[in-house]
Amino acid sequence: MATPLTADRLLKALRDEGLKVVEHRSWRTNNRNHKGPWGPTHGVMIHHTVTSGTTSSVELCYNGHSALPGPLCHGVIDKDGTVHLVGNGRANHAGLGDDDVLRAVIAEKELPPDNEANTDGNPHFYGFECVNLGDGKDPWPAVQLEAIERAAAAVCRAHGWTERSVIGHLEWQPGKVDPRGFTMNSMRSRIGKRLDSAPTPATKPKPPKPPATKPRPMPTYEPFPGAAFFKTGRNSTVITAMGKRLVAEGCGRYRVGPGPKWSQADRKSYAAWQRKLGYTGADADGIPGKTSWDRLKVPNV
């Protein structure tokens, strides 16, 4: 038995447990307290929404519908593990259930079969609706299951309860199947382990590793082919590549080109390059030498 948490205490408990919490609209005053008491509280009840999509599910749980006014729970846990608070106080989520189950929850003992619907659970249970179609096929992401575990543990920790205070709707009201897709025994086991230690920050999925970038290859250059290579009539792509480098260095003396055939224009251009490097006289005759060639850095062709 416990006095219900205030809105501030509930919000703090959830965030202290490492949860991302969104305060939806006027959740702090959204309740059904005018229809009956809220409290004493005894436990936490887990449901599935039978809907898809976060926005529509949250709005439905906040507003309810014509046959069942909202709020339909206290928090909606979406697929990415975010808890959306939609109500504070009495909510239309538990309905009529088995008084034997309620006594077991209060005593934190093993649950009996729910074979009666004779007790209103709305005053006594916090409710979390979890976004899932409830068809047994809609997956439960790991982050959502962890958020259910954390949310239930947060309320239990705030009240000093054990995991035995957490039940599923299917364990309370005959004919209900929610939550479908995982067992409440497995969830209680997770909650119990969490309560055995202090609250921890939520785990975040590791971002994918960026694709490995290949190191840029070091540029390679044409080796010096020897002075005899450069003679009238020589035709080679090396000469074209040399001419392009000479143009890039501002030494080109071409009317057309450069081209692959060694010409006087190539020789004049190379002589300009030699002079640029500081050569004079016979050392700037336009015939490449190894030192000037290596400094020109003619790319491989």
Overall average pLDDT of the 181-201 stretch? 94
Is the model's pLDDT at 162 over the cut of 90?
Answer: yes
Please say which residue of 195, 213, 247 terminates a domain: 195
103-159 pLDDT per residue, tens: 999 999 999 999 999 999 999 999 999 999 999 999 999 999 999 999 999 999 999
Residue 190 lies in a domain: yes
Of the candidates 133, 25, 15, which has an alpha carbon nearest to the alpha carbon of residue 83? Answer: 15
Is the model's pLDDT at 201 over the cut of 80?
Answer: no
Q: Say what the pLDDT of residue 234 is.
A: 92
Q: Is 240 helix (H, G, I), strand (E, B) or coil?
A: helix
CA distance 157 to 14: 10
- In a shared domain, residues 161 and 56: yes
Question: What percentage of the chain reaches a pLDDT higher than 90?
Answer: 89
Rounded to the nearest integer, the mean pLDDT of the chain is 94
- In a shared domain, residues 24 and 68: yes
Is the model's pLDDT at 56 over the cut of 70?
Answer: yes
- In a shared domain, residues 38 and 146: yes
Range of the domain at 133: 7-195
- In a shared domain, residues 252 and 112: no
Is the model's pLDDT at 1 over the cut of 70?
Answer: no
Number of domains in the chain: 2
Is the model's pLDDT at 236 over the cut of 80?
Answer: yes
CA distance 29 to 52: 26
Q: Say what the pLDDT of residue 129 is.
A: 98
Q: Say what the pLDDT of residue 28 is.
A: 98
Q: Say what the pLDDT of residue 46 is.
A: 98
CA distance 72 to 10: 17
Q: Which residue has the tokens 């897709």?
A: 181
Query: With contact defined as beta carbons under 8 Å apart, do 300 and 221 qualify?
Result: yes
Q: Say what the pLDDT of residue 273 is.
A: 95
CA distance 285 to 8: 89
Residue 243 lies in a domain: yes
Query: With contact defined as beta carbons under 8 Å apart, do 18 and 202 qualify?
Result: yes
- In a shared domain, residues 32 and 180: yes
Distance of CA 153 to the CA centre of its chain: 23
